[in-house]
Structure 1
Amino acid sequence: MPATVVVCTQWGDSGKGKFVDYLAEDADLIVRYSGGNNAGHTVVVGDEKFALHLIPCGVIRGKRVAIGNGVVVNPHVLKDEIDYLESRGINVDLTVSERAHVITEKHIEKERGESRIDTTKRGIGPCYEDKIGRRGTRMIDYAKEHKEFQEMIGDVSLLVNEALDRNEHVLFEGAQGTLLDIDHGTYPYVTSSNPIAGGICTGVGISPKRIDRIIGVAKAYVTRVGKGPFPTELGTYEKTKAEGRWEEIEPNFEEQLEDALKRANGGNKYYQGKYMRLQGREYGTTTGRARRCGWFDSVAARHSCMINKPDEIALTKLDVLSGLRELKICTAYRKDGELIERFPVELEGCKPVYGTFGGWEEDITQIRDFNELPKNAQTYVSILELYLKAPITMIGVGPEREQIILNQY
């Protein structure tokens, strides 16, 4: 059985959790390899919604799960998440790497005073700083004084390698996305770890030769949380932030959605982004903040695919674009009069060059066959494949577990 990696090709929030949950049905072990509780996954099962921040979402399937050494762990969040899952009838069979570093109150307090890059204020960066500076506390040390964690810690590297030796199917779940990678993302507006596919090797402790299948996840449009350059953004960071959080939007959601669609189809860029935000419920699982929305950026996606070399693509939230009469895909950038087709180190000042395509009005949430999609939706997916240079084998058409089109090749 394979070792399968699920990695986001954008700025995170791409809907990885939905596909990890789907793929977890055939997995024996699901492993988280990077980040901390600054990222969130939402999985919808029937009428139930599960929001997780630290424990791999494959746990909802009743599978064995593990947290690798590349993850930084807030033990209070971990305990709360275990209690939350158990209160909802989920058995938590979890092993946490004894080498994983611990987020302390000191880390959280330090980050609260820093706002330069608009982080989630969860202490993630300061914890990684202490890890690199050899000042950190590991789970093996923490558990000596907090006995309740002793039974759940172990050697995750050994656990995973032995599972692969037994030919078990191991599924690796990343956090955030390639464009937030500390080395390959839009620095300094990045996270403090390596959420790329290569980060699995150091974040868990396995050989690159162990990886059999890499699935890149891409949303049918692009979102970003917090500050940082965003060439295809529809609207502005300040205007999106001023909209408020989901709890402020929800009371008059339908009226806002109808108004946004009308203005979006009238050509208003801000309302095109707002329609995506409302239709896609683009509000952070962890922070509740409104996500900035923009057209699909093939330049950034090609950069991500070059780094991760996915065997296939899982495309999410295609249904969100329903209703828009016209869609755009960024095919290149223009900066200082120069046409740029590669993802530059410095993204500031890059303006998108767009290709324009017809949209569709139909509700596609109940479709399960690619050939039953509206012709313009089929065309849109096919064009994305050309830019990504990888087959789109799965298409999300709604938030629920079964709302997936398997695009066979």
Structure 2
Amino acid sequence: MTCSIIVGGQWGDEGKGKIISYICMKDKPSVIARGGVGPNAGHTVKVKGKSYGIRMVPTGFPHLDAKLAIGAGVLVDPEVLLKEIEMLKEFKVGERLVVDYRAGIIEEKHKEMDRKDEHLAKEIGTTGSGCGPANVDRVLRILKQAKDIKELEDYLGDVSELINDTLDRGEDVLIEGTQGTFLSLYYGTYPYVTSKDTTASTFAADVGIGPTRVDDVIVVFKSFPTRVGSGPFPTEMPLEEAERLGIVEYGTVTGRRRRVGYFDFEMAKKACRLNGATQIALTGLDKYDKECYGVKEFGKLTRRAKEFIEKIEEVTKVPVTIISTGPEIEQTIDLRKEI
């Protein structure tokens, strides 16, 4: 039995969707649960050459034998969720999904407030998905819960009971975190942050398990970190340099162009500490060194790539165990069996 949490180690967009898809394919967990804020985070999942932009359903949905869960700590936009269930009906998402009856509900008024608030929209760079205003109402104890929404009644359940019972049976659980560590309301680049904490401890609480039930925390880093919207970015490079390197990306939710920077080793160390990382997954190694594209064996990586990985391990004191060398699931090096 293992319970693993996947966490973004930068400002989101680290490639967590690819890592989650790979782990689901290899480890075949019985439950894949989503923690995090809500539909303000997007993941891109590629299945047989087709891309799916997902904001609510756990990104491990291609693993057909797993229950899919959305924890009580997550904000749910019923409109977004129901559209995704319909979009993913070939994966039988609707038959496998459990939405915790205590999850908070985003209403249209929250989205309108989010988009109209000049401070949030222009200065902070909110996604406009209504999460901030909904979390305000949650704190004020006036927010609707999933159990209050008739359209969701077929999916309601107790996610905490589901996960704890699964672990008691000795089966595996994977918890997906959203956003990135430095978008945390507490530990991020305040005020340019999201509306709640985004570290492993909170993701565990989001789905209703205690810290002693967690076996692994896998922090995901991208070789060239990116950031959407405003806020500090100490290692940011000029857009011209990013274009020269072939790193032009756009946010899954906002469609805004991502700012690009060089890898920040000290920031990585801090992310590992904040999350209690036991392992690191590194994505975009093929962007760092194009000769590494599609490589599936560590021994076949270039010296430059190996030295980069060794420095990450040296600074963070955490092993790099999963290395992505391309967008496809099979373009992955898995060193977990070696630790």
Alignment gaps of 5+ in structure 1: 236-269, 324-361
Q: How many correspondences in the alignment?
A: 328
| In structure 2, distance between residues paired with 1:101 and 1:176 | 18
How far, CA to CA, are the matches of 1:101 and 1:45 in structure 2?
A: 30
User: 3-state SS of the aligned residue for 1:172?
Assistant: strand
| Preserved CA contact (<8 Å) 1:225 1:290 | yes
Which letter maps to 1:186? T
Matches of 1:59 and 1:176, distance apart in 2: 18
Moved more, 127-136 or 42-51: 42-51
| Deviation string, structure 1 residues 49-68 (Cα, Å, up to 9, x no partner) | 22211100111111210000
Residue 6 (structure 2) aligns with: 6
Q: RMSD of the TM alignment (CA)? A: 1.3
Q: 2:76 is matched with which residue: 73, 77, 82? A: 73
Structure 2 Cα separation of the partners of residues 155 and 61 of structure 1 = 21
Classify the secondary structure of the residue corresponding to 1:58: coil
Over the matched positions of the two proteins, sequence identity in percent amounts to 42
Structure 2 Cα separation of the partners of residues 312 and 298 of structure 1: 15
Q: Which amino acid aligns with 2:234?
A: P
For 1:304, the aligned partner's letter is A
Residue-by-residue CA offset, 1:102-144 (whole Å, 9 max, x unaligned):
00000000011122200100101000110011110001122xx
Q: CA deviation at 1:366?
A: 2.4
Of structures 1 and 2, the larger Rg is shown by: 1
SS at match of 1:368: coil
Matched AA of 1:376: R
Contiguous gaps of at least 5 residues in structure 2: none
Whole-Å Cα distance in 2 between the matches of residues 222 and 201 of structure 1? 25
Counterpart in the other structure of 2:128? 121
8 A Cα contact 1:280 1:317, kept in partner: no
Matched, 1:397 2:325: yes
Q: Structure 1 counterpart of 2:105, which letter?
A: V
> In structure 1, what residue type is equivalent to 2:257?
A
Report the alpha carbon displacement of residue 281 of structure 1 after superposing the two structures with TM: 4.7
- Tell whether the 8 Å contact from 1:43 to 1:400 is kept in structure 2 after alignment: no
* TM-aligned CA deviation for residue 365 of structure 1: 1.9
Question: Aligned runs of 1:327-342 on 2, under 5 Å?
Answer: none
Report the Cα offset of residue 42 of structure 1: 1.1
Moved over 3 A (4+): none
Say yes or no: does 1:95 pair with 2:62.
Answer: no
Of the three residues 372, 380, 385, the one matched with 2:313 is 385
Residues 20, 2 of structure 1: alpha-carbon distance in 2 compared, 3 angstrom cutoff: same
Q: Which residue of 2 aligns with 1:55?
A: 57
Query: Larger relative contact order (C-alpha < 8 A, sep ≥ 6)?
Result: 2
Q: Is the 8 A contact 2:21 2:45 kept in 1?
A: yes
Match among 312, 326, 347 for residue 279 of structure 2: 312
Match of 1:272 in 2: 241
Q: TM-score, normalised by structure 2?
A: 0.94
What does residue 336 of structure 1 align with?
Answer: none
Q: What is the correspondence of 1:98-109 to structure 2 with a 5 Å cutoff?
A: 98-109=101-112
Partners in 2 of 1:69 and 1:305 — Cα distance? 25
Q: How far has the Cα of 1:46 moved from its partner?
A: 3.1
Cα deviation, residue 280, structure 1: 4.3
